Structure 1
């Protein structure tokens, strides 16, 4: 069961984007598991991908195709990651692109493939190929909700975000979906996200907007510390709502687009954490007083990755020594522990490196019992600040991953 508000909003139509899906029976019975996005001509597309050395075949193909042309189609399957599949896996990803290109009347390099699911198994190609035409036949501007469901694996809920905004009197839309629940950590994770707007944006700015927003969203979440082989995030700008193209960061409209995209990306990223495998609590870890954002993130991730911290939170046990331990083994040079302060929400548990004089176990336990909480740390060595988002570690996380291939 996901934590907090994970409801799907009204998913506004993005002009120039159509989506279709079908039941290809890749792995799951009686559910849509093959999704196709169609972009209008001249859509500008950008992507960021996993940093795992064993990156999946579709990641390799998508990165190569993005360098060659402006994509017109995305094809996504769930249930099988097509990762760790060698030369045959690469051939299968390329064959999928060519088959869709033949149906759609475009070149294979104008197709970006994506896969998510079990690693180390070959794609069931007859099912994938047979599903392409039904998915194409299902194309509609209104199928964002179906797509959000169609890309799920161990997710318990579909994930979406959508906003409309105005630039110089023109109303634009930005809508996106994501999936992910496990094998999640910074530098992207077992997550897929697809966001599109109908605003006119120059190609180089589309990539810059994506990178900037991802750094403060998908690169600020962690569930289990495992960086996946398949994570991908795509941002597309169709330009189909009209208006003058945004071609410079100095354009006043650029900052508005970045604000909207950042909100969309942060919402999609936080939905992944809220739906973390077996999660019962949503945790914000904020570290301030650092010399730079890098060391703030180092401490925040150290806390957020700690199985001992995460299991204590699951048990509502205010065992705050585990938090201090995680701060201490973060790779911070010359950390003066006597300047460290720690809070659970507004309850100070550590003052000047030791127990706060007015701290009580009861106050700490009360915060720990909440489904949402903030761990705030001040390192007392600078003005930098950063935040990551995580969840607790429950019995169900073990069960879900133990039974994943069953």
Structure 2
């Protein structure tokens, strides 16, 4: 029989963690987490996924010796990260429980719980670790802006100035609500030029955008930063997507007139009806995916790239419309995903991207679909990509978020 709520030991552990966290620095978080779980007879290690989502890296907690990093593709911890389902394993004769580390639905890494004795299959242990882990995920997200320690754990190499700028402007890689999910990836993450993505949900409307500024390194990054700032200011001022594009035109012309241009797609999805409205400023057209197959590209809403002095008023800018069906996915991408050359010397092309999209990813949650899609695409390229590769995947479905929740939180789960 479960203990009463007032005497449930996990209640005390959660309260203790919140109290310890108040004055903790980011570099002290792993130690604070372990200290709060220690009275329960548990040793807890916090792992964060690296920037490329290939390796799970332990967060140091001196003076303890950190365990080794764990590959995502070939370990029990990696399986937990990919599936967001808890899993147990035995290492050196000791049982341990692996739990997904999430901030809402944003995958941050995993937590390793090692009990001093007993089974890790106890339902009460699973329930308590799930609750404790949810809090730790939120604490990681809130501590990141206050120092460099947690960011440094996730980095395998030094970031360029442009990457440092753009990663601080981007929203989280994952978002989910009861009617839609959004997932994004950006590679090469340490050497980003002018690629970026954006999204925002307000009431029944989901705003989406993807950008690619001509040029490389910091100058391209500055152009994208100006475009994103202008569009966000226009959006928060109540403007529609056509007016947002015009605001980006004006901002580039005023602040960076020597810059060539930025291509992009701006879209609004009505979460109740599935109606999609979009403007394409010289960018590769989004792909509409239905039942695991690419149905067609969305070629409407055309206008000049941002910053080329669109000589028209908002009412004359074409805003295209598409009605999505429940379960549809929309893939926005930059030309770096299609204009690289494969190992056979041929251009990867839209056909190559479509082929990857249609491989067995329909049953995966949107974030895992994109992670695998991006990594698979990179293996097809000859050498390191010479241009950024940015992918933004949106799924309009009431049950889309269900696959992004830990098993214990999924409706209908035992």
Is the shorter-chain TM-score for this pair beyond 0.5, marking a shared fold? no
| TM-score of the superposed pair, with normalisation by structure 2 | 0.32
| TM-score of the superposed pair, with normalisation by structure 1 | 0.32
